[in-house]
Amino acid sequence: MVVRTDQATDPQLLEALLTVRRGTAFWHRKVEELGDTELDRPSLLDGWSRRHLIAHVGYNARAISRLVLWANTGVEHPMYSSPEEREREIELGATMPARALRHLNHHAAISLDVEWRDTPEDRWTYEVRTAQGRTVPLSETVWMRTREVWLHAVDLDNGARVSDLPEDVLERLLGDIAGMWAKRGTDPGFAIGVDGREDLGVLGAGAKAAPAAVVRGSLAAVVAWASGRGGSALAQGKDVTAPRWL
Ligand code: ZN
């Protein structure tokens, strides 16, 4: 096999590509551990079976591929034609035979990786628009996919934990989540601290004023809580349910 390498040369971007590839491998490993009938079981996401989740991650790779195409051609290719279309695709995808579902999951991820690999250095700063309407440089798509593959591996509910995620992914997730709450005005006013990571500071709207509650734990526990994946016991005696993030 001929090994081809990334056209990108920026060290930070190459590092990000490495992290997303590790996450993708982790995601696939967890999917492959599931037998066909186990795909019918619920995922950790409300109302979604594992089938829905796998269809979503597969179609997400295709949607991100469209952004890569957009940056490479200069011709607009949105991630999804509409939110309804995105939902419909997932519902339909979830009904596919197991083999077809696995095929989608696998091949969509491989194509995306090849497209990233073949994207010239100067295209990575090209601005594209995400499904949420954010304008971002193409390089941001690597992080968008990183979040998906690592967190959704946990959502498969067959053994992956938030603590399996690399530390740098956890750090960035926490920043993203706190940023999203601030932007949406849903920050619960908690002071959020990470044990042993005082360098991360105290996060959230409760950091300065008198906090509504103090949430503290290991980085993985805090991210699990903040992303809605458990950890509500981090603040004793108070309801510290995290606001919705995505
Ligand atoms: Zn997702």
- Centre of ligand 1 to C-alpha 131, Å, is 11
Phi/psi at 104 (5° precision): -55, -50
Continuous segment of H or E residues that includes residue 127: strand 127-129
- Centre of ligand 1 to C-alpha 211, Å, is 31
At residue 190 the predicted structure's pLDDT band, cuts being 50, 70 and 90, is confident
- Centre of ligand 1 to C-alpha 208, Å, is 32
Q: Which residues contact 171 (CB under 8 A, 6 or more apart)?
A: 200, 219
Instruction: Report the pLDDT value the prediction gives residue 233, as an integer from 0 to 100.
Output: 65
Exposure pattern of 152-175 as b/e (b: 16+ CB <10 Å)? bbbbbbeebebeebeeebbbbbbe
**What is the tens place of the pLDDT at every residue in 55-86?**
999 999 999 999 999 999 999 999 999 999 99
Other CB atoms within 10 Å distance of the CB of residue 65: 22
Instruction: Report the pLDDT value the prediction gives residue 241, as an integer from 0 to 100.
Output: 77
Other CB atoms within 10 Å distance of the CB of residue 117: 14
**What is the tens place of the pLDDT at every residue in 154-186?**
999 999 999 999 999 999 999 999 888 888 888
Instruction: Report the pLDDT value the prediction gives residue 211, as an integer from 0 to 100.
Output: 84
- Centre of ligand 1 to C-alpha 207, Å, is 29
Residue 48: helix, strand or coil by DSSP? coil
Query: What is the distance between the alpha carbons of residues 60 and 214, in angstroms, rounded to a whole number?
Result: 35
- Centre of ligand 1 to C-alpha 232, Å, is 22
- Centre of ligand 1 to C-alpha 128, Å, is 19
Question: 34 near 156, Cβ under 8 Å?
Answer: yes
pTM, to two decimals: 0.92
At residue 208 the predicted structure's pLDDT band, cuts being 50, 70 and 90, is confident
- Please state, rounded to an integer, the average pLDDT across all residues of the chain: 92
Q: Which residues contact 73 (CB under 8 A, 6 or more apart)?
A: none
Does the domain formed by 11-160 have CATH 1.20.120.450? yes
Question: Burial, 119: exposed, middle or buried (Cβ in 10 Å; 0-12, 13-18, 19+)?
Answer: buried
Instruction: Report the pLDDT value the prediction gives residue 188, as an integer from 0 to 100.
Output: 82
Length of the chain: 246
- Centre of ligand 1 to C-alpha 57, Å, is 6
3-state secondary structure 61-124: HHHHHHHHHHHHHCCCCCCCCCHHHHHHHHHHHCCCCHHHHHHHHHHHHHHHHHHHHCCCHHHC
Residue 111 in tokens: 């194509």
HSE value, Cβ hemisphere, 13 Å, CA-based, for 65: 15
Residues with CB under 5 A from ligand 1 (ion): 148
Residues of the chain with CATH 1.20.120.450: 11-160
Residue 243 in tokens: 């606001």
The whole-number average pLDDT for the span 142-160 is 97
HSE value, Cβ hemisphere, 13 Å, CA-based, for 215: 31
Question: 109 near 74, Cβ under 8 Å?
Answer: no
Instruction: Report the pLDDT value the prediction gives residue 154, as an integer from 0 to 100.
Output: 97
Calculate Rg over the CA atoms of the chain: 19
